[in-house]
Amino acid sequence: MDLDFNAEENAFRDEVRAFLKAHLSSEISTRIGRGDDSQIAQDIPRWQSILHKHGWGAPAWPKAFGGTGWTTTQQYIFETECALADAPIQLPFGLKMVAPVMMRYGNAEQHARFLPRILSGEDWWCQGYSEPGSGSDLASLKTRAVRDGDDYIVDGQKVWNTLGQFADWIFCLVRTDSSAKSQQGISFLLIDMKSPGIKVQPTRLLDGTHEVNEIWFDNVRVPVANRIGEENDGWTYAKFLLGHERTNIAGIGGSKRELQRLKQMAAARQLDGKPLLEDSMIASRIAQVEIDLTALEITNLRVIFDAEQKKAPGPQASMLKIRGTEIRQRIAELQVDVLGADALAFDGHRDDVPRAMADYLNLRKLSIFGGSNEIQRNIIAQMILRLRG
pLDDT of residue 192: 98
Neighbours of 190 (CB within 10 A): 22
Q: Please, are residues 88 and 236 in contact by the beta-carbon 8 Å criterion?
A: no
**Alpha carbons 200 and 244: distance in angstroms, whole number:** 26
Q: Tens digits of per-residue pLDDT, 191-202? A: 999 999 999 999
Q: Quick one: pLDDT at residue 244?
A: 57
Task: Give the pLDDT of residue 359.
Answer: 84
pLDDT at 141: 93
CA distances from 131 to 125, 135, 172, 251 (A): 18, 6, 11, 26
State the Rg of the chain over Cα: 22
Q: What is the pLDDT of residue 360?
A: 86
pLDDT, position 347:
54
Contact status, residue 318 vs residue 376, Cβ threshold 8 Å: yes
CA angle, 60 then 99 then 80, to 5°: 30
Question: DSSP assignment of 269-288, as one string?
Answer: SEETTEEGGGSHHHHHHHHH
The model's pLDDT over 114-139, given as tens digits with 9 standing for 90+, comes to 999 999 999 999 999 999 988 777 88
Rounded Cα distance between 155 and 167, Å, is 19
Nearest CA to 189 among 207, 204, 170, 208?
Answer: 170
pLDDT at 165: 97
In the chain, which residues have pLDDT < 70? 1-3, 243-249, 310-314, 345-354, 387, 389
pLDDT value of residue 354:
56
pTM of the model: 0.87
CA distance 331 to 256: 10
Q: What residue ranges define each of the domains in the chain, with the CATH number in brackets?
A: 7-90 (no CATH), 125-232 (2.40.110.10), 249-388 (1.20.140.10)
pLDDT tens profile 242-301: 765 555 567 899 999 999 999 999 999 988 889 999 999 999 999 999 999 999 998 888
| Nearest by Cα to 173 from 97, 241, 231, 234 | 234
Angle at 14 between CA 9 and CA 15, to 5 degrees: 95
> How far is CA 305 from each of CA 255, 294, 360, rounded to the nearest angstrom?
21, 16, 33
pLDDT score recorded for residue 371: 75
Instruction: Give the Cα separation of 312 and 236 in Å (integer).
Output: 18
pLDDT for position 352: 47
